[in-house]
């Protein structure tokens, strides 16, 4: 009989409990198991398992696990509260209407524009070496183009759900966009394929088959291993597989950086930034107002490694709240609840926007409802960055739509105007 060590046993129990609570609380807010919200939320049980094992080994104090638990429950409670305004059937109906309501020539134009911008970024990424840590510097240098590409990429994913488009052509577009994204994207470059497939099943009133779901997850892991070999310098296939397995187990590696090495306590106060300025940094930085020099994950990594690095772990919400509001469980609970509420309210708001007169506002609303809420817990800046990209793509589409409508509504020349004076 195999006996598990106590730390591993409590980690397994923590994973199972957190996974059950997370799914139960988010169930009303998602459309199926491949919803971006639930796919990204897998970080919660893995983080819970890691932090619990660290506490059971005496490497981290138990009050940090209490903070994590309070923040997770508050965040999920906020998401659950607003989920009462999310209707799956209404969402499905609007998604089908919007994807089928675009003229074929506009769909092709959006796909070609996305492909061209992605190709430009791929060439630039290969030219400057946007692999590994250098990807962060590349993202800063070409941020406006990357933001627009991210919004158009999400637009393309949704428009490729159109049932009138041949399957072969859809597959070719998806492969082309994903392959060209490799030079400047991370290991999760194939994850959008999961999202697209989940939306396709949802539109067709089909559940996610267990065998297919497992196959797609394995495909994503295989692609991530390939990315590790190509971009992250792994010496062989075994190293790549071990890195991915390690990445799954260390979804919450930010807690190791923050607590096991006491890095969070060391950097607290190093940056004179308020909580609101930190949260709104992705927006204010667009107009030259930087909320901080380094994100919290990079600051932790720099403190632990002793080097000035740009990369670092995702600063999950419990870490952010512990940094700005140490030893304040009630404050953390309230803010986590508000964050969960604010993130998931994007779904009913997106559905409301999907009833607009403008095709691009309808599309932008649905894209925001689908993709923007996913990163609310692992890194709140991801929500704002996604919204900025979607807003940029929507704005471009609306301007084109207005220009085209003004041309079609221009009054034709009358016979009197054309008549030459005698």
Tell me if 68 sits within 8 A of 331, measured CB to CB: no
**DSSP category for residue 420:** P
- The confidence band for 274, taking pLDDT boundaries of 50, 70 and 90, is confident
pLDDT of residue 136: 67
Taking the C-alpha atoms of residue 69 and residue 179, their distance in angstroms, rounded to an integer, is: 39
- pLDDT tens-place string over residues 72-91: 999 999 999 999 899 899 99
- pLDDT tens-place string over residues 112-154: 999 999 999 888 877 765 555 566 667 777 788 888 999 999 9
Tell me if 120 sits within 8 A of 178, measured CB to CB: no
- pLDDT tens-place string over residues 256-265: 889 987 889 8
pLDDT of residue 253: 83
Burial class (CB in 10 A: 0-12, 13-18, 19+), 311: middle
- The confidence band for 225, taking pLDDT boundaries of 50, 70 and 90, is low
Confidence check: pLDDT of 191 > 80: yes
Taking the C-alpha atoms of residue 153 and residue 389, their distance in angstroms, rounded to an integer, is: 9
Taking the C-alpha atoms of residue 116 and residue 129, their distance in angstroms, rounded to an integer, is: 19
Tell me if 387 sits within 8 A of 405, measured CB to CB: no
Tell me if 304 sits within 8 A of 259, measured CB to CB: no
Confidence check: pLDDT of 238 > 60: no
When comparing pLDDT for 71 and 103, which is higher?
71
Taking the C-alpha atoms of residue 316 and residue 68, their distance in angstroms, rounded to an integer, is: 10
- pLDDT tens-place string over residues 385-407: 999 999 999 999 888 888 877 66
Spell out the residues 6+ positions from residue 24 whose beta carbon is closer than 8 angstroms to its own: none
Tell me if 52 sits within 8 A of 68, measured CB to CB: no
The candidate with the shortest Cα–Cα distance to 179, out of 136, 125, 217, is 125
Confidence check: pLDDT of 232 > 70: no
Taking the C-alpha atoms of residue 389 and residue 399, their distance in angstroms, rounded to an integer, is: 16
The mean pLDDT value for 325-339 works out to 95
The two three-digit tokens of residue 192, written as one number: 């959008």
Tell me if 11 sits within 8 A of 52, measured CB to CB: yes
Tell me if 349 sits within 8 A of 342, measured CB to CB: no
The interaxial angle of helices 359-371 and 143-159, nearest 10 deg, is: 100
The two three-digit tokens of residue 59, written as one number: 């490497």
Helix (H, G, I), strand (E, B) or coil at 288: coil
pLDDT of residue 239: 55
**Within 10 Å of residue 272's Cβ, how many Cβ atoms?**
7
Q: Count how many Cα atoms sit within 13 Å of the Cα of residue 355 in the half-sphere of its side chain.
A: 6
pLDDT of residue 144: 84
Tell me if 13 sits within 8 A of 53, measured CB to CB: no
pLDDT of residue 250: 61
Q: Where are the alpha helices (DSSP H) in 129-209?
A: 134-141, 143-159, 167-181, 191-203
Tell me if 252 sits within 8 A of 51, measured CB to CB: yes
Tell me if 250 sits within 8 A of 293, measured CB to CB: no
Tell me if 358 sits within 8 A of 398, measured CB to CB: yes
Burial class (CB in 10 A: 0-12, 13-18, 19+), 244: buried
The two three-digit tokens of residue 210, written as one number: 């267990």
- pLDDT tens-place string over residues 282-305: 888 877 777 777 788 888 888 888
The two three-digit tokens of residue 167, written as one number: 């399957």
Range with lowest mean pLDDT among 178-192, 222-236, 256-270, 365-379: 222-236
The two three-digit tokens of residue 393, written as one number: 């793509």
The candidate with the shortest Cα–Cα distance to 127, out of 142, 144, 112, is 142
Range with lowest mean pLDDT among 2-6, 191-195, 218-222, 261-265: 218-222
Output the CA angle 256-257-261, nearest 5 degrees. Answer: 90
């Amino acid at each position: 009989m195999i006996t598990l060590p106590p730390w591993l046993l409590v980690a397994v129990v923590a994973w199972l409990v957190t996974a059950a609570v997370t799914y139960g609380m988010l169930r009303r807010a998602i459309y199926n198991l491949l919803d971006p919200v639930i796919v990204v939320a897998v970080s919660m049980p893995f983080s819970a398992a890691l932090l619990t094992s660290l506490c059971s080994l005496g490497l981290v104090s138990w009050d940090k696990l209490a903070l994590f638990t309070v923040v997770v429950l508050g965040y999920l409670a906020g998401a659950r509260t607003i989920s009462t305004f999310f209707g799956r059937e209404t969402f499905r109906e609007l998604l089908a209407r919007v994807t089928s309501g675009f003229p074929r020539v506009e769909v092709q134009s959006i796909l070609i524009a996305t492909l061209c911008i992605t190709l430009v970024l791929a060439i630039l990424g290969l030219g400057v070496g946007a692999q590994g840590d250098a990807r962060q510097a590349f993202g800063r240098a070409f941020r406006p183009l990357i933001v627009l590409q991210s919004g158009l990429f999400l637009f393309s994913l949704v428009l490729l759900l159109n049932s009138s488009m041949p399957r072969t052509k859809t597959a070719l577009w998806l492969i082309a966009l994903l392959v060209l994204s490799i030079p400047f994207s991370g290991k999760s470059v194939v994850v959008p394929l999961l999202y697209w497939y989940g939306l396709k099943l949802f539109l067709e009133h089909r559940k996610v088959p267990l065998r297919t779901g497992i196959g797609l997850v394995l495909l994503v892991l295989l692609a991530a291993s390939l990315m590790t070999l190509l971009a992250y310098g792994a010496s062989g296939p075994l190293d790549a597989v071990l890195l991915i397995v390690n990445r799954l187990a260390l979804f919450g590696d930010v807690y190791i950086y923050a607590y096991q090495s006491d890095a969070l306590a060391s950097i607290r106060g190093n940056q004179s930034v308020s909580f609101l300025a930190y949260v709104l940094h992705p927006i204010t930085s667009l107009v030259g107002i930087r909320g901080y020099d380094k994100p919290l994950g990079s600051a932790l990594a720099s403190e632990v490694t002793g080097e000035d690095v740009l990369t670092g772990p995702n600063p999950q919400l419990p870490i952010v709240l512990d940094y700005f509001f140490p030893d304040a469980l009630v404050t953390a609970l309230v803010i986590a609840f508000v964050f969960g509420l604010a993130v998931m309210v994007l779904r009913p708001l997106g559905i409301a926007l999907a009833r607009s007169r403008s095709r691009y506002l309808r599309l932008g609303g649905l894209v925001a409802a689908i993709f923007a809420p996913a990163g609310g817990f692992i890194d709140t800046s991801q929500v704002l960055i996604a919204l900025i990209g979607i807003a940029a793509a929507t704005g471009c589409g609306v301007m084109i739509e207005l220009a085209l409508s003004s041309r079609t509504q221009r009054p034709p020349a009358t016979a009197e105007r054309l008549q030459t004076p005698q």
